[in-house]
Chains A and B, each alone.
Chain A
Amino acid sequence: GENVEQHPSTLSVQEGDSAVIKCTYSDSASNYFPWYKQELGKRPQLIIDIRSNVGEKKDQRIAVTLNKTAKHFSLHITETQPEDSAVYFCAASRAGAQKLVFGQGTRLTINP
């Protein structure tokens, strides 16, 4: 079955700097890659997703890139702000199965 590895497990950046979180997946048939943000004690919320027919997607300060050949995808946050501090999860699924397999999570801390 699908296996998703996420790195790093913790990341600390200065406010205003960029943050990058990387994930690799094992199932070459996976074609949907969402990213979720989970603040302490709260529910995961979708922040951006990408499907395998595109290589990059942007939404304001957030972008996701996908390399299907290498089977990895990354989350990029630019001009980080204190409210970006949270745990971020990547996930992958294949069409038909719709079963999301999550990475282990990255705890992002933005230092003022």
Chain B
Amino acid sequence: EAGVAQSPRYKIIEKRQSVAFWCNPISGHATLYWYQQILGQGPKLLIQFQNNGVVDDSQLPKDRFSAERLKGVDSTLKIQPAKLEDSAVYLCASSLIQGGEQFFGPGTRLTVL
């Protein structure tokens, strides 16, 4: 079974630039999560989708972050404009059902200069 795919794996941008991350969950997984993991900390949930609907985006900085999962499969997370404090690894995860085991992708390491 293929795992969760993410791209790009690494991205370096300057502050105030825009960036987008892509995630392809495990086939058939209805629930998709985006986490931000700052160095030395645990992952923090940014947004959770159930199919193409948002379940929880309470910790998403909506003035600069946006995410979509239009067809209920792939998802993109965008930051516009980026700040220095956005430097982190952005992890995508998926689960077959809500409350089920979450499988993580390899992450995208973002560096904002």
Contacts and interface: CB of A to CB of B under 8 A. Distances in A.
A98 B48 contact: yes
A102 B91 CA distance: 13
Contacts of A4: 42
Interface stretch (A13-21, A41-49, A62-70, A76-84): A41-49
B104 A43 contact: yes
B66 interface: no
Contacts of A45: 104
B62 interface: no
Given A95-B99, A98-B98, A43 B43 contact: no
B31 A98 contact: yes
Given A98-B98, A99-B48, A43 B42 contact: no
Interface string A67-96: 000000000000000000000010101010
Nearest to B41: A104
Nearest to A6: B42
A100 interface: yes
A97 B56 contact: yes
A103 B43 CA distance: 8
B106 A42 contact: yes
Given A89-B42, A99-B45, A104-B41, A43 B91 contact: yes
B45 A49 contact: no
Nearest 8 CB-CB pairs, A to B?
A102-B42, A43-B104, A98-B99, A98-B98, A89-B42, A44-B104, A43-B106, A102-B43
30 contacts: A4-B42, A6-B42, A34-B102, A42-B106, A43-B104, A43-B106, A44-B91, A46-B101, A46-B102, A46-B103, A49-B101, A89-B43, A91-B42, A93-B99, A95-B99, A97-B56, A98-B48, A98-B98, A98-B99, A99-B48, A99-B56, A100-B43, A100-B102, A101-B45, A102-B44, A103-B42, A104-B41, A105-B40, A105-B41, A105-B42
Given A32-B99, A43-B107, 11 more contacts: A42-B106, A43-B4, A43-B91, A43-B105, A44-B43, A89-B42, A93-B99, A98-B55, A99-B45, A100-B43, A100-B102
